Every structure is written in structure tokens, then in C-alpha cells.
Amino acid sequence: MKIFLIGFMGCGKSTLGRKLATRLGYTLIDLDHKIEKIANSTIANYFSTHGEDAFRKLESQTLQTLEYPTNCVIATGGGTPCYFDNMDWMNANGLTIYIEMTPLALAKRLEQGIAKRPLLGNLSEQGIVQFIENKLEERNMYYKKAKYILNGINLTPEQIHALVLAQD
Ligand code: S3P
């Protein structure tokens, strides 16, 4: 089974993904890392050299053409579900789980590591909250197509594991 973790930057997709994969004995695939390997560039550099449109194309192509192991957990990028037919493709090819969090909670978690996230540029803390609110408004229609929507605060890999076990 493929388990796609989706949600905004900072919601914990990679950390939860790693723990969940370990629990299940599945392989973890971090989509951003795959893209960085294929492009031989960090995401931030790729954005500044080629622009966002080129990044979105590469992201979609990577998502939809990777050779996945039979059982894996995929930590997607925050924008992955929102471009091309990526969300429908993930729903058709695996179990999608949206890790939901409020803009304020996300902003607090994003304060560190802003440099790695080109979309945040050099926004102030208040600017980040506003940016997240606006983006979530655009993105929720995609995120909410996920099969499961889980509150990311205090979410544990055990809770996601239980959902996975409940699938046929
Ligand atoms: C993005 C999120 C990032 C990365 C890129 C764009 C977004 O991934 O794919 O910087 O559009 O939200 P994370 O959610 O893993 O930070």
C-alpha cells in the first residue's frame, strides 16, 4: 500500500512519515528529497534558478513516475496536491491523509528553517500567519479531497497506523 501524507509546510509530514514507516516496516519516500536528487539542486535553488512553474512540473512528473516499492509512506511537498491532477492521482493510487493544522500553529512551527522554504521568503511572523491563511484558503479544496483528515496537533504515528490497519 502507498500512504500519501499531505498538508501545509511545517505540519509534520516528514517526521510523522518517518516514524510511521518505521512502525509499519514500510519504506519512507520524501518527495522533496527525490526531486532534489533528480534535479541535483536544493528546492530553494531550483526555485530561484528555474521558477515555480518549472518546479511544479518536475514535482508532478516525479510524483507520478517514481518507481515506488510495494509498501511505502510518501511525505509529499506542501503544494503537491494542488497542481495538475496530483491529488486525484494520489487518491487513485494510494491512501491519502491530510494532516491539518491552524495557520498560527503552522507559523510557530515554521519559524525555524524558513531559509529552506522559498515560498516564505523573508516574511515576518505576522506576515507568515497571513501568508498561510491565504494559501490555506486556496489549497484546502485540494487538501480536503484526502480520504482522511486528521488534526495534526499531538497526532501520533500510532493513530495513523490504526487507520492503515482498518483498510481492506
Ligand atoms: C512547498 C512546500 C515544500 C516544497 C516547496 C514548495 C509548498 O515542501 O515542496 O518548497 O508549495 O508548500 P514541505 O511541505 O515539505 O516544506
46-84 confidence digits (pLDDT tens): 999 999 999 999 999 999 999 999 999 999 999 999 999
Q: How far apart are CA 118 and CA 115, in angstroms?
A: 7
Nearest CA to ligand 1 atom 8: 77
Q: How far apart are CA 20 and CA 13, in angstroms?
A: 10
Q: How many angstroms does the Cα of residue 31 sit away from the middle of ligand 1?
A: 10
Residue 100 belongs to domain with CATH number? 3.40.50.300
Q: How many angstroms does the Cα of residue 106 sit away from the middle of ligand 1?
A: 13
Q: What is the pLDDT of residue 31?
A: 98
The 10s digit of each residue's pLDDT in 99-120 is: 999 999 999 898 877 767 888 8
Q: Give residue 69's domain range.
A: 2-165
Q: How many domains does the chain have?
A: 1
- CB-CB contact of 117 with 26 (8 Å): no
- Measured from CB, residues less than 6 Å from any atom of ligand 1 are 9, 32, 43, 77-79, 117-119
Nearest CA to ligand 1 atom 10: 117
Q: How far apart are CA 10 and CA 136, in angstroms?
A: 13
Q: What is the pLDDT of residue 21?
A: 98
- Neighbouring-strand partners of residue 5: 75, 97
Nearest CA to ligand 1 atom 2: 78
Q: How far apart are CA 148 and CA 87, in angstroms?
A: 13
Helix (DSSP H) and strand (DSSP E) numbers for the chain: 8, 5
> Can you give the pTM of this predicted structure?
0.96
- Long-range CB contacts (within 8 A, 24+) of 106-112: 106/8, 106/9, 106/10, 106/11, 106/132, 107/10, 107/132, 109/10, 109/11, 109/12, 110/9, 110/10
Q: How many angstroms does the Cα of residue 79 sit away from the middle of ligand 1?
A: 6
Residue 99's region, left for phi above 0, alpha for psi from -120 to 50, else beta, is: beta
| % of the chain at pLDDT higher than 70 | 99
